[in-house]
Amino acid sequence: MSGVQLYHLHPEVAHRDCGDCQRWQYNHETGELELWRGQPIERCGPPPCRLGAGQCAKGTPEDSKALTSQNLQAYQHYMECKATFSFPDDPIVRRNAGIIKMAEEIVERVVLARTILGVRKT
């Protein structure tokens, strides 16, 4: 569930490879690779995940909140089914859809709360 939430609430880090982040400097707000003269800037200090709990929404490479490749496939399947309004009659698909739907509802509530409170991403 946290992977789906990360995917929607923090896309700037959700798809970033942790190894790349540990090697290269990224703008933590936008998620863009920082460049100097068209070349990536090597990180000269610790990445956000090594600066303490909560500094990177993705967590750490050892304890990542990102979708695993298997979960990403399940999420992509869910999105295809949702887009076509056609879910197969399968217990695993139903179970996955229920979990993903709960995660999406949490994302909707967080986005709504941020909007009402005028809060930027955290």
Residue 82 domain-assigned (yes or no): yes
Count of domains forming the chain: 1
Q: Minimal CA–CA distance to 98: which of 78, 76, 77?
A: 78
Residue 118 pLDDT grade (very low, low, confident, very high; cuts 50, 70, 90): confident
Residue 122 pLDDT grade (very low, low, confident, very high; cuts 50, 70, 90): low
Residue 97: per-residue pLDDT: 96
Residue 49 domain-assigned (yes or no): yes
Residue 7 domain-assigned (yes or no): yes
- Taking residue 3's Cβ as centre, other Cβ atoms within 10 Å add up to 20
- Where in the sequence is the domain holding 99, given as residue range(s)? 2-117
Q: What are 47-86's pLDDT values in tens digits?
A: 999 998 889 999 999 999 999 999 999 999 999 999 999 9
Terminal CA-CA length for the chain: 18
Give the orientation angle of helix 91-117 with respect to helix 2-9, to 10 degrees.
40
- Rounded to an integer, the average pLDDT of 96-122 is 90
Per the prediction, the chain carries an average pLDDT of 93
